[in-house]
Structure 1
Amino acid sequence: MTRVEWTRLDGADVEAVVAMFVNREHPHSTRITPSRGDGGVDILDRGAGPGGSDVVYQVKRYTEPLGKNEKDAVENSLATLMKDPRWSDLNVKEWHLVLPWDPSPEADKWLHGIGEGHGVRAIWNGLTRVESLAAKYPEVIDYYLHGGRSRMEEAYKVVATAFSATKAANGLSVPAVHETVETALQTLEDDPHYRYEHRFGSGGMPPVSSRPGLVLHMASQDSVTGNWAVVDVIARCAASSAERPIQVEGRLTIATGSPAHKSFEDFIAYGSPFQSPQGSFSGTIDAPGGLGRALEEATVSVWSTNNELGGDPELRLEILAPDMTVLGSVDLDRVERSHGAEGYRVVLKETNGVFEMEDRYNVSGNNSSRIITLNNLTDMPISKVLPAVTFLQHCHSPNIGRLSRRYAPPEKGVFDSNLALQWPEAFEKRLTMMVQLLGFLAKLQSETGDVIKVPDTEAVQEEEIKGWQLADRLLQGLEVSVTYKEEDVIFIGLDGDTPEGSFEASLPLEFTVGQQKVALQVIARFDNPIILGHRDIEGSTYTMLETPEHSVKYRLERESAS
């Protein structure tokens, strides 16, 4: 690799190259765009430091020993970070000064001292570190300093033409197209900001992938031949889209007050996902990879912007009574984090998929909101669902939440008063009923090796629920008397002679749970039965009888053994 003459470069080029080195080395780090000054932060890597602390990088263009003015500027950057209210939520233990100049022992001691003065560990990443990153990421040097950008623009055009959904005018053979594309893709591999994955085929269009870092999915299809071409643009680091943004201009037509209009407002305010109505957008897109083009009657989908999950996305949330008794807990994954013009948005997903929680923080209005969405639970295992819905049932005043990292002691977490929710009355009744019914089924689950799944609650019949309640009482060790219809007759298979007078028999009692059948082995007691006769059914003889009170008493079989 050709050594970079840092002293001959413009200061802006030095900062741009060195900052991209840091972003590539720490792909989750984000570049801070100054609004009223950067507040002493050029690059932020949330949760990447010791114990989940935040790491800040300050990039300087200095290529020679620091004089008084340069030292003052460095110290001012650190001091600004510590007092700027915009960074009050950070927990910074490491602060890196990054520049292409190695410190003298005296300079390193000076930086260490100002760090101690502000309660952080200040680290000098000098020329040696910068040169090692230059060797690791030569494409950054080539793109910014050696004309790599223009070579890539030509490669973009080749790939865009070869992967067009329509038939090529020059009739290239398959091997020729393959060779042309392979050559162009080798150049595109040197793009320091993005990777490009191309696919083509015919028939049904492939779905949008959900891979990390996907910033743009372009798909086109020839209406005559059915041929399609897809390009996925994947950011190499979180700063890629800030350094080379994807810009869309045009006219979006949405009816005022419609769900799409509300969704678009949320996207602007908090960076939440947005999809326009079909055919509602016309305009142009300026994108890397030669993908810029005119768009007519298009549909625009935007995923969560600034979607850096931060450190330790695996969390635990407890709900506590006023006396600090734990009433319930769930494990949550932070699956989205974004921000927009008005504030921040965080999405937490219960690990079993029972519910999602979306928090929005309006910075200018100094307020917050929380949206909890209960997912479709049908066919999910009871053992997964019950703890989560029980947790939700306790999310009301005067109870409070406590949020912690999943694998750390919960007592080290932080309290969350926003779990004192006021559920809509209809939802609260539904939640209470669900917890009760799932509780019945959870007890039934303890008696069978088959996995009992949540039935469709809209289709559950009253007789099913009565059966679950009966099973619950039997599992409590109670003897339960069950009345049957007067016109019904009991058929029972008996070993040996027909008994005289009252008798007991061991038999399976079956319960319906949606599409499943679950049986408990019970002792049935028939008091003073009237024998009506016998009948052969499929090679077995059954005794027909009825009881004077049209009732049978049941108890769980294991109770008689005790």
Structure 2
Amino acid sequence: MTAVVWTEKSGDLIETVAAVTVCRRHPSAERVRASVGDGGIDIRVRNGDGWTVFQVKGYTGNMTASRKSKVEHSFKRVQEYAAEVGMKIAEWNLLVPIDPTKENLVWFEELTKGAPFACGWKGRAYLDGLAAEFPDVIEYYFGDGAERLAETVRQVAAATGTLVAAERASSSAPITADGVRSGLSQLYEALNKFDPHYRYAFSVSPSLPEFPGSYKPGLVFTHAEGKEGCFVTFDVYARYAEAVRDSPITIQGVLSAPAGTDEAKALEEFHRYGAHFSRLDLGSGFVISAPGGLGGELDAGTFTVGPTVEDLAVPPRPIRLQVIDPADVVLAEVEVFLKKPTYGLGGQGMSVQAADASGFLMLRFQVDLETRAGKFDLELGDASGLHPSAILPALRVVDAMHEPNRVRLANQYGPPGNSVIEIAAPREEQENGILRLVEALQELQQHTVVQVAVPSLSELSRLDALRIIRAAAILRGEEVHVQYRGYSLVFDQDAQLEDGDHAGITGVEPLVLLLNQQPVQLGWRRFFAHEVKTTRTSRDDGKVEYRLTPSAGESFLMRFVAGEPPTESNSSE
């Protein structure tokens, strides 16, 4: 690469190239666009607990009095700004393609004397070093585009030569993975030779890749195209954090949806709160401007707005979701984890998603930043397979969400704070069957070492749910009354019960339930059957069965209480 003649370049272009090369050397650098509030900072790079600041000037030739005055203003402003916002400056540098004269150094030392941070003059030699380190930046901004294109074509041709040769070879020498390795490597190098902002990776798969995929640092754009059996995917990575501003990736078009539809509501919430939505059908007329020639016009497709991979990497913030009564007494609470908030396009509103640790309770809060009014909605997920204790707090919170109670977002520890949300659509207090069931399962867990899990609620019959609730009540010491039309008792040997009518029969039997697809004995229960008729039957397995049926009417009453194991040799099953 030939040396850059900085004096032949415009000041604006010099400042752009200088900023891009500094950002390439420091990929996490932040570039501050010129504005009234830029604080005299063009680029800042994290340096320990402080910042290294670059003030970039596109001057060439001499440092005139006017130019010195502008540098002095920037230096004064950066110190004022740092004091205003509490920013610690570790180092400040003037970056300009001029090597200082002795007079320049005297002026610069006088300017920076007494500064509480190190100061440096990064001149032409420094910029020449950056240019040599990142020739792709120089070629992109200062080079001949036609030459770059021709070189790319030559590289691609060389890369594909191996593939063409292999394709034309005889059938006795089929294409192999090892045979195309070199060609693919050359193709990768050619793709990544000239673009100073982005790096490209490609893959081939038999099916369309899943979007969004796993977290990949720096990934900003993915393009997949092909047909079933062969899809070619390009992943585009930012070479540095500010690349998406220096070379933006844009989508132009009009998003619309019929009034009154869920899609229209999703668009409105996206515009006002920045809320995510998925798979909104697109019409024609959308144009994507993307690097590497991967953009173009879309005829059809779907549009999804979701979190960035960087947002997904931010740990959720734990808080307490509380339901309080009119006297601010906490009725129920559950720990939930807030994701990074999103903001509407006009800055009018904010949306935050949250979930409890189990993922069973999912919430979305939306706040109008102008009126400070808030609303929320919630959704309960599939509890199948979860332990009862994992979802009980969430169910108790949902159960308490009714008039006149309110919802409060409290700090994880200490005083709760004042974030109280009125329940937007209060419901009347009602029986919560799921809560009763899960509380019963939690009670059962106290009486067995077998881990209890919440069954599939869609597959659980009403009778099985009642059996779980009754068993828990018995284990808590409550007396349970049940109407039966018939009930069987099985003994290892004859219990000496006479056939016929009885005013009452009492006995002890195991309390067994089917949990996790296996019978589990939770204890013993004593039963009391009133006004029953017994019928004795000897079974083929040597056991004796007594069938209890009503003496009169359609049913008879049985009472169950917790019992102790029988002392006699007879036992029931």
The 5 A counterparts of 1:340-419 are 340-343=345-348, 344-360=350-366, 362=368, 365-367=370-372, 369-381=374-386, 382-393=388-399, 397=405, 400-404=408-412, 410-411=413-414, 415-419=417-421
Rounded Cα–Cα distance in structure 1 between residues aligned with 2:492 and 2:557: 19
Contact 1:357–1:373 (CA under 8 A) maintained in structure 2 = yes
Structure 2 equivalent of residue 233 of structure 1: 236
Q: Which amino acid aligns with 2:135?
A: D
CA contact (8 A) 2:320 2:409 kept: yes
CA change 1:355–1:531 in 2 (3 A) is closer
Code of the residue aligned with 2:205 in structure 1: it is G
Say yes or no: does 1:328 pair with 2:326.
Answer: no
Q: Which amino acid in the other structure matches residue 297 of structure 1?
A: A
Give the deviation of 1:271 after TM superposition.
Answer: 4.3
Matches within 5 A, 1:470-485: 470-478=470-478, 480-485=479-484
Whole-angstrom distance in 2 between the partners of 1:424 and 1:49: 51
Q: C-alpha displacement at 1:231, in angstroms? A: 1.9
> 1:162–1:300: structure 2 CA closer, same or farther, 3 Å change rule?
farther
Contact 1:162 1:177 (C-alpha < 8 Å) held by counterparts: no
Q: TM-score, normalised by structure 1?
A: 0.70
Match of residue 522 from structure 1? 524
Q: Cα deviation per residue 1:499-524 (whole Å; 9 max; x = unaligned)? A: 799553341332679x7866522233
Shift of residue 147 of structure 1? 4.1
Q: How does 1:287-326 map to 2 (within 5 A)?
A: 287-304=290-307, 308=311, 313-319=316-322
**What displacement does 1:544 show?**
0.6
Query: Helix, strand or coil for the counterpart of 1:425?
Result: coil
State whether residues 447 and 522 of structure 2, in contact with CA within 8 Å, keep that contact through their aligned partners in structure 1. yes
Equivalent position to 2:507, from 498, 504, 507? 504
The one-letter code of the counterpart of 2:411 is L
Q: CA deviation at 1:266?
A: 4.0
Q: Which amino acid aligns with 1:258?
A: T
Residues 448-470 of structure 1: per-residue CA shift (max 9 Å, x gap):
44444444546654434432331
Matching residue of 1:210: 213
**CA deviation after TM superposition for structure 1 residue 288, in Å:** 1.4
Normalised to the residue count of structure 2, the TM-score between the two structures is 0.69
CA distance in 2, matches of 1:434, 1:285: 48
Question: Alpha-carbon deviation of 1:342?
Answer: 3.0
- Structure 1 residue aligned with 2:93, among 99, 123, 127? 99
Q: 1:453-492 to 2 correspondence within 5 Å?
A: 453-457=453-457, 461-478=461-478, 480-486=479-485, 488-492=486-490
What is the deviation of 1:443?
1.9
CA deviation map 1:201-226 (0-9, x unaligned): 33x42322433354322222247xx4
Code of the residue aligned with 2:71 in structure 1: it is E
Distance 1:15 1:434, change over 3 A: farther
In structure 2, the partner of 1:555 is 561
Which of 137, 148, 172 is 1:144 aligned to? Answer: 137
- Contact residue 155 and residue 185 of structure 1 kept, 8 A: no
Alpha-carbon distance between aligned partners in 2 of 1:354 and 1:160, rounded to the nearest angstrom: 51
Query: Is 1:73 paired with 2:79?
Result: no
- Residue from 188, 195, 200 that aligns with 1:196: 200
From the superposition, tell whether residues 251 and 332 of structure 1 become closer, same or farther in structure 2 (CA, over 3 Å): closer
CA displacement, residues 265-286 of structure 1 (integer Å, 9 cap, x when unaligned): 4444454445564462334322
**Match for residue 115 of structure 1?**
none
Structure 2: how far apart are the matches of 1:277 and 1:195?
Answer: 29
Alignment match, 2:570? none
Shift of 1:287: 0.7
CA distance in 2, matches of 1:392, 1:498: 53
| 2-structure distance, mates of 1:81, 1:94 | 7
- The separation in 1 between residues aligned to 2:284 and 2:337, in whole angstroms, is 36
Q: 1:241 to 1:147 in 2, by over 3 A?
A: closer
For these two proteins, the number of residue pairs brought into alignment is 518
2:489 maps to a residue whose letter is F
Q: Distance in 2 between matches of 1:19 and 1:302?
A: 29
CA distance 1:333–1:323, change in 2 (3 Å): closer
User: Residues 323 and 331 of structure 2 are in contact (CA less than 8 Å); yes or no, is this contact kept in structure 1?
Assistant: yes
Measured in 2, the distance between the counterparts of 1:395 and 1:292 equals 49
The code of the aligned residue for 2:137 comes to: Y
The letter of the residue matching 1:483 is V
The 1:63–1:245 alpha-carbon spacing in structure 2 relative to 1, beyond 3 Å, is: closer
Q: Distance in 1 between matches of 2:269 and 2:56?
A: 38
Change in 2 beyond 3 A, CA 1:109/1:533: farther
Give the Cα–Cα distance (whole angstroms) in 2 for the partners of residues 429 and 163 of structure 1: 70
Q: Distance in 1 between matches of 2:451 and 2:293?
A: 52
State the Cα deviation string for residues 145-171 of structure 1 (Å, max 9, x = none).
35489698678879999999xx99996
Q: Distance in 1 between matches of 2:368 and 2:296?
A: 35
Q: In the alignment, is the contact (CA less than 8 A) between 1:193 and 1:240 conserved in 2?
A: yes
Quote the Cα distance in structure 1 between the aligned partners of 2:95 and 2:511: 82
Q: Does the CA-based 8 Å contact 1:534-1:543 persist in structure 2?
A: yes
What is the DSSP-based 3-state SS (H/G/I as helix, E as strand, rest coil) of the residue aligned with 1:99? Answer: strand
Q: Is the 8 A contact 2:225 2:231 kept in 1?
A: yes
- 1:541 to partner: Cα distance: 0.7
Q: Distance in 1 between matches of 2:38 and 2:377?
A: 34
Equivalent-residue separation in structure 2 for 1:536 and 1:491 (angstroms): 12
**1:441 corresponds to:** 441
Q: 2:451 & 2:126 partners in 1: Cα distance?
A: 55
Q: Is the 8 A contact 1:333 1:351 kept in 2?
A: no
Residues in 2 aligned to 1:509 and 1:423: alpha-carbon distance in whole angstroms: 42
**CA-CA distance at 1:291 after TM superposition:** 0.9
Helix, strand or coil: the match of 2:318?
strand
**Residues of 2 paired with 1:318 and 1:139: CA distance?**
56
In structure 2, relative to structure 1, the CA distance for the partners of 1:209 and 1:527 (3 Å cut) is closer
